[in-house]
């Protein structure tokens, strides 16, 4: 987690997007700085976002090298409603199903939501 920026909370107005069974988009950074996006299942635990991945996938390899990431979730019932969280990811092996699996825990330092549904 970034030592210079304090984590921020998830607004109650959009928390349901992180607890409903909705896919999100995890974006990490490639070695050349280009973004890499992947469709993922996620869940919220307090004010962190948890995503399961493996160290063999591009997202996992990117996070080992550079912990910065973002998650975007769009409400499938109202596509003008969304939440985006950016922050640093902590890779956790405890609770992961296999040896190479990790839980990517995003500690948001910036949260953006649509202006319409605040």
So what's the pLDDT on residue 19? 94
Reduced to 3 states (helix: H, G, I; strand: E, B; else coil), residue 73 is: strand
Q: What is the pLDDT of residues 64-111, one digit of tens each?
A: 999 999 999 999 999 999 999 999 999 998 765 565 788 899 888 889
Q: Give 10-49 pLDDT, tens digit per residue.
A: 999 999 999 999 999 999 999 999 999 999 999 999 999 9
pLDDT at 55 over 70: yes
∠31-35-40 over CA atoms, to 5°?
110
CATH homologous superfamily of 16-113: Electron Transport, Fmn-binding Protein; Chain A (2.30.110.10)
Global pTM exceeds 0.95: no
In the structure, what pLDDT confidence band is assigned to residue 114 with cuts at 50, 70 and 90? confident
């Amino acid at each position: 987690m970034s030592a210079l920026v304090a984590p921020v909370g998830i607004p109650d107005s959009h928390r349901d997007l992180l607890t409903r069974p909705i896919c999100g988009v995890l974006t990490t950074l490639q070695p050349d700085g280009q973004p890499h996006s992947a469709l993922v299942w996620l869940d919220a635990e307090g004010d962190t976002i948890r995503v399961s991945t493996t160290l063999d996938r591009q997202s996992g390899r990117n996070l080992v090298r550079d912990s910065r990431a973002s998650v975007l979730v769009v409400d499938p019932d109202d596509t003008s409603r969304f939440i985006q969280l950016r922050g640093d990811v902590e890779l956790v092996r405890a609770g992961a199903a296999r040896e190479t699996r990790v839980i990517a825990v995003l500690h948001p330092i910036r949260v953006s939501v649509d202006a319409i549904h605040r």
